[in-house]
Structure 1
Amino acid sequence: MDYTQFLESKIIVAENYGFDVEPCQLSKELFPHQGAIVPWMASGGRRACFASFGMGKTFMQLELARLVIDHTGKPFLIGLPIAVAGEFKRDNQKLKTGFDIEYITDSDKIDDYQPKIYLTNYERIRKGDIDPTKFGGVSLDEASILRNLKTETTNYVLEHFSKVPYRYVFTATPTPNNYIEILNYAVFLGVVDRGHALTRFFQRDSTKAGHLTLYPHKKEEFWKWVSTWAVFLNKPSDLGFDDTGYILPTHEIVQHEVESPTCSDLTNREGKRIMFRDVTKSLLDTSREKSESIDIRVKKAMEIIDANPSATYIIWHHREAERMALEKALKQRKEIGFRSVYGSQPNHLKEKLLQEFSIGKYQILLSKPIIAGQGCNFQEHCHNAIFLGIDYKFNDTIQAVHRIYRFMQLYQVTTHFIYTENEYEVWKELQRKWKNHIELQTEMVNLVREYGLNTNKITADMKRQIFNKRRTAEVGNAKVFNDDTVMVHQEMESNSTGMILTSIPFGDHYEYSDNYNDFGHNYGNDKFFEQMDHLTPNLLRTLKPGRVAAIHVKDRIQYSHQNNVGFTTIKDFSGQTVQHFEKHGFHLVGKITVTTDVVRENNQTYRLTWGEQRKDATKMGVGLPEYILLFRKSPSDSKNAYADDPVVKKIDEYLLSLWQLDAHAYWKSSGNRFLSSEELSQHDMKYVYNLWKSFDKTNIYNFQEHLRVCDDLDSHGRLSKLFMTIPPTSNSDMVWTDINRMNTLNANQVNRKREKHICPLQLDIIERLIFRFSNEGDLIDDPFGGLFSTPFMALKMDRKAISVELNPDYYDDGLFYLKGLEFELNAPTILDMVS
């Protein structure tokens, strides 16, 4: 494919794995919006439906089950909360699918699977009792089991249910900003590789292991991608259909803040007496507050009921002690009929009691959100709810609210929340999550309104992210571009550059811009080098014969979610880079090793921790250095191997001593010991560091002595956990340990409060390389310009420069530094003023 086709192939959309459904094949019982969603999900084969409460998710699942059974001849499995089986059985009769429904607890007990719809609860799935290979399709109703990747159930489902050809997810409440949940849905459906999605859309939080945040410039692409395999729907008009019958009534939320229980002595978490209670609530604090306030909250609930004693209520509670206190209070109101549904009851009794409440056989239902808060429809005979208490579990709360506040509800819904004054912070957090939930729904529904269920339209729109807004500027002898580096190098003159000096993107490690042209915007190293295949031949073509390309690289960390082996490994990215450049005609002539700080690396990656090393040393490797790979283009004349335009050094500027440092490692005889423990404690760390640097360079390295110095510093509390205090140094020019990691234009970025570059190359490295491998007046090429550090140093050293940067912000910042340098170089001196 040509380069444009390659860029378009990067657009990530969910493929179709299903089968086509004609309108005449659909049940006449479906509502219009359901009749649009079901064929879309069937043709996709692996899709999610995030439709609001009362939009008919049960109908849609049953219709999909019927279509899959007809298509495959195999049964269909629906996983659901315990209390929801009755809803599916009733709706199956309304829909008239023609297939029986059977509730199962263990698939091994069924010898001959008939083409019918099987139901099971998540407890059976959690225990591994269901063999997914026996089914042609599976749907997860209220798929909350996939919210937490660490749970046993989620791991089982992701591993074993990948064998089912047709997979569907239905839920009304994907958790706000819980990207792990969204990714779990995608992985279950098989529409993306987890490692690919994590690399493509998310940045790790270096301060908190496992915490993901969406790249700001990836937000739009992420949600467009999600909308290629998931539909968000609040009401039928979101897909262009009539909302008749789907207009929700008003919803009144009533807060009841009751006085906190008092006691004679208030204590904090350490048991010390305090004057006022701490209103910031941990889970333990919240639990204690609930225990102490049961009687107060039950009293308030009874006051609410007594204010309207003929109304029907569902009372949500979280503890068995709360249920028993409610039952005791309600038994004193003999005119009120109530039932309780709780965990130790058999499933058939739960189902019977919930069904009776839904048709109005008794007045008050007591239950927990985790038992009856999902899937049940109580809107026909109930429009009042009381939460006897609150907690931080937003999903359980919002699901419970919508058991009665859902489409087909005819009356105003009133929901009472009872909490103590010391639980106000919990209430505020619940409100914050509710607000985020609404914002997420609004954002996704807007995409549905714009694109409908048209994946092709989304794909066409995403193609607009291919970069086509070139900018260019000339600053002194430097010419820089804001463009795709492939496009620029295709236009450059052959044999025109005297040196190539660049830090290539480290595979798909990081994306520098929101364009598909970005080399970091690839799926894995193989795809990265496939894009490099369009650039590297032009680098060879434009470089003068015999000249050098110095390529800055670093090997790649592969986390367990990327390599599927359960522990961190290393990808030999530097080796792959060598293979790639040699494939395109370059010749490797040298490697320079630049050491890095292992402590800083661990603080960013968590893979070299001291604690894990003590538990099992086999898990831990070593810190990753950086490399400068030196490649040479063959000269035109191979007799003496000189470059067509040799890099010539004058004898007075390139002394014998400098040649020896450039060409060889060297040894010196053993010297004196380093500072003793007592001496270490008496000097400041700057003095110690500089003395160690000198000592290590002038003595044969002794590991035990190095370890002794570190131990002594640690005993005095002076061994840093933020950086390597006493690093090893090198006497060889092949390993550069004397690099100032802060000597980059990033330091200026921090001062200017601008975005830092993720992989800066140090200015002194650039200076040493330019001096060694180019002549004054040569054109230095940096195809991945970043902040234009290479042109910056090239101008300082009387060279010319050409450089390309795709990120507009980096381009603007780099241009700022170049213009500042030009002003500095051209500023008149006092002698100029005199003359």
Structure 2
Amino acid sequence: MNAVPYVDYESFIAGKQFSDVPTGFDCDVPVGPLFDFQAVCVKWALKRGRAALFEDTGLGKTLQQSVWAQMVYEHTGGNVIIAAPLCVAQQTVEEAAGFGIAIKYCRRDSEVEPGITITNYEMLEHFDLESFVGVVLDESSVLKSHNGKTRQCITDSFRATPYKLSCTATPSPNDWMELGNQAEFLGVMTQVEMLSTFFTHDGGDTGKWRLKGHGRVRFWEWMATWAICIRTPADLGFDGSRYVLPPLNLVEHVIESGELLEGHLFPVVAQSLSERREAKKASIDGRLDLAARLANEHQGSVIVWCHLNEESERLAKMIDGAVEVTGSMSIEEKTRNIMAFTHGEKRVLVSKASICGAGMNWQFCDTQIFAGMNDSYEQFYQAVRRSYRFGQKNAVTAHIITADTEGAVKDNIARKQAQSDEMAIEMVAHMRNLTKQQIQGATSGTEAYRPAVPLAIPAWIEQNVERV
């Protein structure tokens, strides 16, 4: 039998490490338009080639992704496309132009010119996506919210794209599927591989996953090699004083519905989804009257968030200087109404968080009213952050109007906030040191097998094979 060469334990373990050679390039990033921490993040993302910037709202992802796209275009000479939510595209064009970066908004492939193109997610099907050398997903949490067909189409269309940048506010650490979708889009690891490597089913429920006890630290370390996750520049060792925000005041208003839920003799808190819908409808008059009064009494800009179509339609008529944005509107009409509020032509915006709750910068507004809510903490968080972000000079007040039959909504929000904060702190803590060490590559869940030691076959097996 042939002797197997000795391999020390450290080398053996090192050989088990997943590796993925960066597809990017090293360059000097101009600090001019960027803050110091932003320049470091862009330089790292360019070096990585395929990277994610999970930065909290207000840290300047729009400018960073614009600079990243410009440098990819200058380095390769190939076109770069940015996909963004409704109206965020127009806002990006305006902000980038202020720093001398030309980005063209296009709705179809025939409009593309050399350089950087930006479009809405809904328009991607009208482009030859394989012709772009670089892609940026702005508010890339859409990979979670989009249906499976659309998400898979985005992932497949850009699978061979060498330069990819995924930008979103700190993703929910509890939503493993979102993180898996992000990694799969970037080509780091498929969602299935991520789940099988780091997770296990939670008890008997095959729909819920939890980190394996022994793999918890390993998971965050792996993620840190392809994503920068920060909530403040201080997480990277930079000065974060300019990002200390004024107070955020959550004011809860509970409306007595005055009606009993169907099948009940006494007032009870709604439990099932159908009961919650019934509770919302029973309290709609009281909630809308209060929301309209609060909006009309406020002198400045106001954002009013609704949950039902009826709420949006009625409030737009009840509030002075209001403009409504609904899902049934054309893209042109949505854009016109959103930009009317953005440019100060309309004082009040009435819409749903699922429509206008991501991407826009409305620091000029310090008052929000939630006339109707669903159970999504992420939508609530993103909606509040349209106003409560870097550049906000005043304390922000968010009025939460609910019915007494809906339960303690504010307490529920606080509980989810605490859970999110706890997990986000853990995420950032694991990634902080690795980012400071300027990690040069990212791990990958797949690696070609390259045998370095010849296979040693026992003599008795060789003899039997020869006889056969």
Distance between the aligned counterparts of 2:258 and 2:463, measured in 1?
A: 81
Distance between the aligned counterparts of 1:46 and 1:68, measured in 2?
A: 12
Distance between the aligned counterparts of 2:458 and 2:64, measured in 1?
A: 58
Distance between the aligned counterparts of 2:237 and 2:355, measured in 1?
A: 35
Does 2:215 align with 1:245? no
Report what 2:298 is aligned to. 309
The answer to whether the 8 A contact 2:199-2:209 is kept is yes
Report what 1:85 is aligned to. 89
Relative to structure 1, the CA distance from residue 523 to residue 86 in structure 2 (aligned partners, 3 Å threshold; closer, same or farther) is closer
Give the alignment partner of residue 454 of structure 1, picking from 432, 437, 441.
437
Give the alignment partner of residue 76 of structure 1, picking from 36, 59, 80.
80
Distance between the aligned counterparts of 2:79 and 2:446, measured in 1?
A: 36
Does 2:331 align with 1:347? yes
Counterpart of 1:50 in 2: which secondary structure?
strand
Q: Tell me: higher relative CO, structure 1 or 2? Use CA pairs within 8 A at least 6 residues apart.
A: 2
The answer to whether the 8 A contact 1:27-1:63 is kept is no
Distance between the aligned counterparts of 2:382 and 2:115, measured in 1?
A: 29
Counterpart of 1:162 in 2: which secondary structure?
coil
What is the CA distance between 1:524 and its match in structure 2? 9.2
Report what 1:30 is aligned to. 34
Does 2:43 align with 1:39? yes
The answer to whether the 8 A contact 2:224-2:435 is kept is no
What is the CA distance between 1:70 and its match in structure 2? 1.0
What is the CA distance between 1:429 and its match in structure 2? 4.2
Report what 2:279 is aligned to. 289
Distance between the aligned counterparts of 2:460 and 2:267, measured in 1?
A: 72
The answer to whether the 8 A contact 1:38-1:63 is kept is yes
User: What are the equivalent positions in structure 2 for 1:74-473 lying under 5 Å apart?
Assistant: 74-97=78-101, 99-104=102-107, 106-107=108-109, 109-110=110-111, 113-125=112-124, 128-147=125-144, 151-205=148-202, 207-263=204-260, 266-267=261-262, 273-276=263-266, 279-305=269-295, 308-330=297-319, 336-379=320-363, 381-424=364-407, 427-456=410-439
What is the CA distance between 1:122 and its match in structure 2? 1.5
- The one-letter code sitting in structure 2 at the alignment partner of 1:584 is I
Distance between the aligned counterparts of 1:117 and 1:457, measured in 2?
A: 26
| Unmatched runs of 5 consecutive residues or more in structure 1 | 268-272, 331-335, 463-521, 535-579, 589-631, 635-835
Deviation per residue, 1:29-73 (Å, 9 max, x gap): 111111111010001011001111111111011101101111221
- The one-letter code sitting in structure 2 at the alignment partner of 1:274 is H
The answer to whether the 8 A contact 2:313-2:324 is kept is no
Deviation per residue, 1:213-256 (Å, 9 max, x gap): 11122111111111111111222222222234322111111111
Relative to structure 1, the CA distance from residue 324 to residue 166 in structure 2 (aligned partners, 3 Å threshold; closer, same or farther) is same
- The one-letter code sitting in structure 1 at the alignment partner of 2:419 is N
Distance between the aligned counterparts of 2:448 and 2:197, measured in 1?
A: 13
Report what 2:59 is aligned to. 55
Deviation per residue, 1:116-160 (Å, 9 max, x gap): 2111212223xx333221111001111122115862111111222
Counterpart of 2:169 in 1: which secondary structure?
coil
Relative to structure 1, the CA distance from residue 524 to residue 243 in structure 2 (aligned partners, 3 Å threshold; closer, same or farther) is closer
Deviation per residue, 1:301-327 (Å, 9 max, x gap): 134335x43232110112220012212
- The one-letter code sitting in structure 2 at the alignment partner of 1:2 is V
Distance between the aligned counterparts of 1:176 and 1:2, measured in 2?
A: 38
What is the CA distance between 1:16 and its match in structure 2? 1.5
- The one-letter code sitting in structure 2 at the alignment partner of 1:443 is E
Relative to structure 1, the CA distance from residue 261 to residue 136 in structure 2 (aligned partners, 3 Å threshold; closer, same or farther) is farther
Distance between the aligned counterparts of 2:64 and 2:24, measured in 1?
A: 16
Relative to structure 1, the CA distance from residue 94 to residue 208 in structure 2 (aligned partners, 3 Å threshold; closer, same or farther) is same
Give the alignment partner of residue 64 of structure 1, picking from 37, 55, 68.
68
Deviation per residue, 1:541-573 (Å, 9 max, x gap): xxxxxxxxxxxxxxxxxxxxxxxxxxxxxxxxx
Relative to structure 1, the CA distance from residue 228 to residue 435 in structure 2 (aligned partners, 3 Å threshold; closer, same or farther) is same
Distance between the aligned counterparts of 1:305 and 1:296, measured in 2?
A: 14
- The one-letter code sitting in structure 1 at the alignment partner of 2:399 is H
Relative to structure 1, the CA distance from residue 430 to residue 247 in structure 2 (aligned partners, 3 Å threshold; closer, same or farther) is closer
Distance between the aligned counterparts of 2:248 and 2:82, measured in 1?
A: 32
- The one-letter code sitting in structure 1 at the alignment partner of 2:457 is H
Distance between the aligned counterparts of 1:215 and 1:209, measured in 2?
A: 15
Distance between the aligned counterparts of 1:189 and 1:52, measured in 2?
A: 20
Distance between the aligned counterparts of 2:458 and 2:293, measured in 1?
A: 85
- The one-letter code sitting in structure 2 at the alignment partner of 1:405 is Y
May I ask how many residue pairs the two structures share in their alignment?
457
The answer to whether the 8 A contact 1:357-1:363 is kept is yes
Relative to structure 1, the CA distance from residue 526 to residue 134 in structure 2 (aligned partners, 3 Å threshold; closer, same or farther) is closer
Moved over 6 A (4+): 522-527
- The one-letter code sitting in structure 1 at the alignment partner of 2:243 is Y
Give the alignment partner of residue 11 of structure 1, picking from 6, 17, 35.
17
Counterpart of 1:17 in 2: which secondary structure?
coil
Relative to structure 1, the CA distance from residue 69 to residue 189 in structure 2 (aligned partners, 3 Å threshold; closer, same or farther) is same
Q: Which stretch of structure 1 is more off in the superposition, 41-50 or 342-351?
A: 342-351
Distance between the aligned counterparts of 1:191 and 1:359, measured in 2?
A: 40
Distance between the aligned counterparts of 2:306 and 2:204, measured in 1?
A: 36
What is the CA distance between 1:426 and its match in structure 2? 5.4
User: What are the equivalent positions in structure 2 for 1:648-797 lying under 5 Å apart?
Assistant: none
Relative to structure 1, the CA distance from residue 244 to residue 259 in structure 2 (aligned partners, 3 Å threshold; closer, same or farther) is same
- The one-letter code sitting in structure 2 at the alignment partner of 1:239 is L
- The one-letter code sitting in structure 2 at the alignment partner of 1:46 is R
Counterpart of 1:37 in 2: which secondary structure?
helix
The answer to whether the 8 A contact 1:295-1:325 is kept is no
What is the CA distance between 1:207 and its match in structure 2? 2.0
Distance between the aligned counterparts of 1:171 and 1:199, measured in 2?
A: 25
The answer to whether the 8 A contact 2:97-2:103 is kept is no
Distance between the aligned counterparts of 1:154 and 1:453, measured in 2?
A: 32
Identity of aligned residues (%): 31
What is the CA distance between 1:84 and its match in structure 2? 0.8
The answer to whether the 8 A contact 1:286-1:391 is kept is no
- The one-letter code sitting in structure 2 at the alignment partner of 1:382 is C
- The one-letter code sitting in structure 2 at the alignment partner of 1:328 is K
Relative to structure 1, the CA distance from residue 92 to residue 525 in structure 2 (aligned partners, 3 Å threshold; closer, same or farther) is closer
The answer to whether the 8 A contact 2:18-2:447 is kept is no
* Superposed CA RMSD: 3.0
What is the CA distance between 1:198 and its match in structure 2? 2.3
Counterpart of 1:286 in 2: which secondary structure?
helix
